[in-house]
Amino acid sequence: MAAPTRATFAAGCYWGTEHFFLRHFKSAIVTHKVGFMGGREEETMSYDEVKKGTTGHAEVFDFTYDPSKTSYADLLAFFFRMHNSTTPNRQEGDIGTNYRSAIFYHTDEQKQEAEDYIAKLNGADEKLHSAFARAFGGAACITSVEKAGRFYPAHEAHQDYLEKNPNGYCAHRIYF
């Protein structure tokens, strides 16, 4: 196994993001947690605080993956297929800044790859842009690319939530 690489994505509700990534990438994901990133730094952060919308945090899926089994480019492509990156601070019925679409980069290479992929979705790659535009009615991708900061893990009941609660709410699906 190659040295694990860290990635962090915000695609609305974190337990749906976790569920979809784990199902799709199976053994490529080495470690994972859901939690919060992108807001003010405090000693602790809780779901109750974040859902008020005053902390600036997004719900994130934070994980390490084996780059010999998948690439960051593959992770990006899947991230954009499994949520709506055209709606500000919203995924279906989940509304608030904590549900924004964001990529938290850990390296300059991740930042560049994310920015390049967003440019492709927004027209720099005709084939990809066409599929994206059909899926989202021609709307532009508005995913933010943010430097990774402090990660606050969510409480244990939200870790692997949809595995523990298979009939739980999930707004995610494969769009294109």
Q: Which residues are catalytic?
A: 13
Q: Is the distance from CB of 105 to CB of 111 less than 8 angstroms?
A: yes
Phi, psi of 30 (to 5 degrees): -90, -50
Coil, helix or strand at residue 124: helix
CA angle 91/106/3 to nearest 5° reads 115
Give the amino acid at 133.
A
Q: Which residue type, as a one-letter code, is found at position 21?
A: F
Any idea how long the chain is? 176
